Amino acid sequence: MRLPFPLKHPWGSVLILGALAVAANQFGFDLFYGARLYLGSASAVLALLLLGRSGLWVGAASILLVPRLWAEPQVGIVLLAELLWLFAFLHLGGDRGDRLEQGDVVLADVLFWIVIAVPLECLLFGVLANADLSGVLDQSLVRAINGSLNTIIAVAVLVLVRLVQSRRGRPGCVSLQGLLLISLLALTLFSSMLSLAVVVRQLDHELIDDHLARFRQLALTSAVLDSDALDDLAGLRRQQQSPLDFQVINRQGKLIYDSNPTLFQTLAARYVEPAASVARQPQVDEPLDLLVPVESRPSPPSALRGYWLYQSSEDQDLRPGGLSGSLPDRMVVVVVEPARSSIRDLQTQSSRAIRLLALLVLLAVIAARSLSRFVVQQVPEFPILQGFRADDHRSASTAELESVAGFQLPGNFKSDLRELQPLLQALRSRGDMLFNLRESFRRSESQRHRLEMEVGRLNIIDPLTGCFNRRELYRRLDHELRLSDREERELTFLCLEIDHLRHIHDSYGQDVYEEVLRRVAQELRHRSRTTDVLCRLGSEQFGLLLTACDTESAEKVAQLLSDVVRTLEIRREGSILAVTISVGVASLQSGKDDPDSLITRAQSALYRAKAEGRDRIVIA
């Protein structure tokens, strides 16, 4: 794996991550009473994930260089065992890359704490050392929660590194299963941890506030009584078997009264404020301190032998209600009480919260693992993948892929999730197939359209000459007749026939016969108006419908066409064929003619022209 500078140098990585691990293990933060978390293991596990064997040096440094762990060697041993367990999981058998990317290292860490660490600590420190088994279990669960959270953080950072590498074009791909697992764990665990910490802290504060209220009440009473009254107050408290004792000191520091001199002397000589690793009161901002016995190895159970201590301020107004002004003889009152009962209450609340949090971690890991695996298993069953191979690498256009996927694809169209690669390849395959099918459909549609146009053209066009056929003539003629009747305009029909065309066929063959027909039709079409209708009536006959044209004008058109055809030069076998036409002209007789009668009259005139010697024009 390519790492960003300066992590691309192995020993530089060891030093940087080791320094982060040691620094993070020096300081922790309290979730609630008895649950203090350290983040140093996250850097140690991250070094193990990134650097392999070199990462073990980071774990060793995070343990050996932290004074807190010197006082609790069992904790350091467990943390080192955790790193060795993860190292063995990653490097002994199986694909290390898959175990990293799929988040299996989180499951391995949770398994270590459930199967090995917690039972071993309970056995060594609870049973064999005859310690409080409940307290040992709670502290073991705290370390288990802390170790699991650190591993989750390390894997999350690894996923981010992979994503950054992929975004910068470097080799790297993130597993969808690992991404989902870490996302679900981060969402569920940290939100539930925050909520639980807020609730338990509030309960702890309420408990401490109750003690603080009783201490202030006693201080208020003691500050305004004389010596005899203070004796009576102390005796009354002893009769009530109250654990509270108090001292009253004036402004000059002189001891006015002491309800239990032996206790206060013992506290002054043998009790101190505990270190941060020992469970301290959560209400640190209040004037309430916890004193524990001086021991070479302070531990949370020592708080049970401690005392709560409250000391009023010299500037504090001890009158009821905190009214303004001052008393003549302002007193400082020190109140103490054995902490055992309240510490037990705090421990009970914390124990419940710790065990609930441990259960949440376990359930969250199992649920996130199951859900992420289910989602990954469903990726190959994505509907768009059905019927396609995951290894098909054919490409398609972005527009086609967008139409298939239903959303705008990014320009580079790549994914950082390894499980989505088959999906993207199948998308490309499906897009390519749809693109080909669409192109084939377009070609088929275009060809169908051309065929329809060709069929439609053949229905009205004579294929040899390119003129309209007899069917189209009758349609046009019927329309023009109705139009002429409505607008009272002239309409004339010419019937033309090529002279001796049968003789040309017999003498020169079919090719010359067809060429003569095409050449004559071409000349007739070029000399006609766009509003005129030229059609082929028979094998040798043509019809020309002249709109808005009277008989005289039609005769001139017929003469022009006859002259043009006479000038045609069709050469065959060294000779020039002479081509002429005979024409019959019939004008519309309004109210009398229909299409058939008009055509019949024009044909009759044509037959007369042929009978009179051909190459002439006859008007019906």
Task: Burial-class residue 606 by CB neighbours within 10 Å (0-12, 13-18, 19+).
Answer: buried
Instruction: Tell me what the mean pLDDT of segment 250-256 comes to.
Output: 81
Cα 544 from Cα 552, distance rounded (Å)? 15
Q: Check: CB of residue 125 under 8 Å from CB of residue 131.
A: yes
pLDDT of residue 130: 61
pLDDT of residue 564: 93
Neighbouring CB atoms inside 10 A of 361's CB total 23
Higher pLDDT, 110 or 1: 110
DSSP state of 513: H
- Strand boundaries in 322-467, DSSP class E: 332-338
**What digits encode the pLDDT tens for the residues 392-434?**
434 444 444 444 444 444 444 455 555 566 666 777 777 778 8
pLDDT of residue 603: 93
pLDDT of residue 450: 85
Higher pLDDT, 240 or 131: 240
- Its sign, for the CA torsion 254, 259, 265, 267, is negative
DSSP helix/strand/coil, 546: strand
Q: Mind listing the domains of the chain with CATH numbers?
A: 10-174 (1.10.1760.20), 221-345 (no CATH), 398-457 (no CATH), 470-619 (3.30.70.270)
- Its sign, for the CA torsion 58, 61, 66, 68, is positive
**What digits encode the pLDDT tens for the residues 366-396?**
888 888 888 877 765 444 433 333 344 344 4
- Its sign, for the CA torsion 350, 339, 280, 124, is negative
Report residue 172's pLDDT band, with 50, 70 and 90 as the boundaries.
low
What token pair was written down for 410? 């990014």
Cis amide leading into 328 (omega within 30): no
pLDDT of residue 256: 85
**What digits encode the pLDDT tens for the residues 62-103?**
777 776 676 677 777 888 888 888 888 887 766 566 666 667
**What digits encode the pLDDT tens for the residues 531-568?**
899 999 988 899 999 988 999 999 999 999 999 999 98
Cα 356 from Cα 152, distance rounded (Å)? 19
pLDDT of residue 422: 65
Instruction: Tell me what the mean pLDDT of segment 48-59 comes to.
Output: 80
Task: Output the 3-class SS for 25-50.
Answer: HHCCEEEECCEEECCHHHHHHHHHHH
Percent share of the chain, pLDDT over 70: 79
Report residue 319's pLDDT band, with 50, 70 and 90 as the boundaries.
very low
Q: Over 70: is that where the pLDDT of 441 sits?
A: yes
Cα 296 from Cα 302, distance rounded (Å)? 11
Cα 319 from Cα 547, distance rounded (Å)? 125
Element (H, E) at 547: strand 541-547
One DSSP character per residue, 557-600 reads: HHHHHHHHHHT--EEETTEEE---EEEEEEE--TTT--HHHHHH
Tell me which of 25-39, 313-327, 496-510, 541-555 is least confident. 313-327
Higher pLDDT, 133 or 351: 351
What token pair was written down for 172? 């790297």
Higher pLDDT, 62 or 260: 260
**What digits encode the pLDDT tens for the residues 215-232?**
888 888 888 788 888 888
